[in-house]
Amino acid sequence: MKRVLVSAGMAALALGLAGGARAQTELTFSTWVPLNHPISVNIFNPWFEKVEKESGGKVKFRTLPKPIGAPNQHYDAVVKGQVDTAYATLGYQPERFFPYLLAELPQLGETAVHNGVALWRTHQKYYAKLGMFKDVVLIGLMTHGPGLMHHTKKPVMKPDDLKGQKIRVGGDVPKLIVEHFGGVVITQPAPKSYEILSQGIADGIFFPMESVKSFNIAKIVTHTTYVKGGLYSSSFWFAINKDKFDKLDPAAKAAITKNGGEAFARLAGAGWDKADADGLAVAKENKNTYSEASPEFVAELSKLTGKIEAEYAAKLDKLGLPGKQVIADYRAELAKIKAGN
């Protein structure tokens, strides 16, 4: 009898140890930029550490050494469970995530924090009910800082300066801008930026300031032109596989949820803004030019902005949303956030 009790006790202990071993769930994460890019160093790595700590060790994140696929394949990879968590630029799938491209319009927020938080608030108010992320658990949204014009040969100051210039862009809004000003659009993944610029395939590139450092192009694109509120911004989703999330320990779910949404937009935005400051410092160290576009360029861009916004609003109307009101509310949120609310 005693031997049976001992055996039963040992079995219970073994089950307890096995249960403890299973208590921590490892989540794989895929990124499609270099592992030392600010998006990992300034944003995801700190976020992972925070969630792991607040979950009491119930969850751990493991970044894959190589991306699971191309950037525009990451969403489906999360849906199918090929990777547990991932992110990507919403503009890489413009038809799929059209409403969220609001944050990519010209002349909006002055920082990544402003744009990212405003996008999340707009998602909550208008977009969540569209169900575009119904196949995953959307952790958060973010944007990088204001997009600028970087050129290998000259500052782009006046409307005619872009005519005939080959410019690498990512997303529909930068594409529209380049075409409007008579430039030639080059579409290549961001990690190929150094290659296409150094080989003369592209004369310039639309990027936030951080990319001058993170993609090692400061000595190639020696002229930067900025516009208040940016020429554009790129917006990103960050999500987790639905089944994986549902099976997580409650403490892990709570930690992810608490640090998602607006909290994630603020953390991510601060990370992007720091990276922008670092990129500007590198450009200044290299004695690159950094100039504000001429009033003529800004006036022409403002006309284009109005046209893009009108078309965007009309498309939102077709989705059953009040297009013009969505844009107005987004700009109102930007003002609130800038004021500290």
Q: Do 247 and 140 share a structural domain? A: yes
Residues 313 and 169 in one domain: yes
The CATH number of the domain holding residue 164 is: 3.40.190.170
Q: Please name the helix (run of DSSP H) or strand (run of DSSP E) that holds residue 25, with its range, or none.
A: strand 25-30
Whether 65 and 211 map to the same domain: the answer is no
37 and 121 together in one domain: yes
Spatial CA neighbour of 175 closest among 294, 304, 291, 74: 304
Q: Note whether 56 and 88 are same-domain residues.
A: yes
Same domain, 31 and 111: yes
Rounded to two decimals, the pTM is 0.89
Predicted confidence at residue 8, as pLDDT, reads 42
User: Is position 281 within any domain?
Assistant: no
Domain boundary (224, 245, 276) is at 276
**Gap between the Cα atoms of 340 and 190, Å rounded:** 33
2: in domain: no
For CA atoms 288, 301, 277, 97, the dihedral sign is negative
Question: Cβ neighbours of residue 28 under 8 Å, at least 6 residues apart?
Answer: 61, 62, 63, 64, 83, 84, 85
pLDDT in tens, 220-267: 999 999 999 999 999 999 999 999 999 999 999 999 999 999 999 999
> What is the radius of gyration, based on Cα positions, of the chain?
23
Whether 282 maps to a domain, the answer reads: no
Same-domain check for residues 317 and 227:
yes
State the Cα–Cα distance between residues 313 and 249, nearest whole angstrom. Answer: 42
Do 158 and 140 belong to one domain? Answer: no
Residue 310 is assigned to a structural domain of this protein: yes
Quick: pLDDT tens for 56-81. Answer: 999 999 999 999 999 999 999 999 99
Instruction: Compute the distance between CA of residue 72 and CA of residue 138 in angstroms, rounded to an integer.
Output: 16
53 and 114 in a common domain: yes
Q: Which two tokens stand for residue 180?
A: 């409007």
Domain membership flag for residue 118 = yes
Instruction: Give the pLDDT confidence score for residue 12 in this predicted structure.
Output: 41
Residues of the chain falling short of pLDDT 70: 1-23
Same domain, 165 and 135: no
**Amino acid 171: pLDDT:** 79
Task: Let me know whether 88 and 198 are in one domain.
Answer: no
Task: Flag whether 185 is in a domain.
Answer: yes
Q: Which residues pair with 59 in a beta bridge?
A: 25
Number of structural domains the chain divides into: 2
- 10 Å CB burial of residue 41 (0-12, 13-18, 19+) is middle
Which residues lie closer than 8 Å to 45 by C-beta, 6 or more apart? 63
Cβ atoms within 10 Å of 265's Cβ, excluding its own: 27
Decide: residue 82, CB within 10 A, 0-12 exposed, 13-18 middle, 19+ buried.
middle
Helices 323-338, 295-318: crossing angle, 10 deg rounding: 130
Range of the domain at 332: 148-232+288-338
Determine, yes or no, domain membership for 216.
yes
- Token pair, residue 327, equals 């844009």
Looking at the fold, whether 63 and 160 belong to one and the same domain comes out as no
Residue 4 domain flag: no
Cα separations in angstroms, 224 against 191, 235, 291: 19, 21, 6
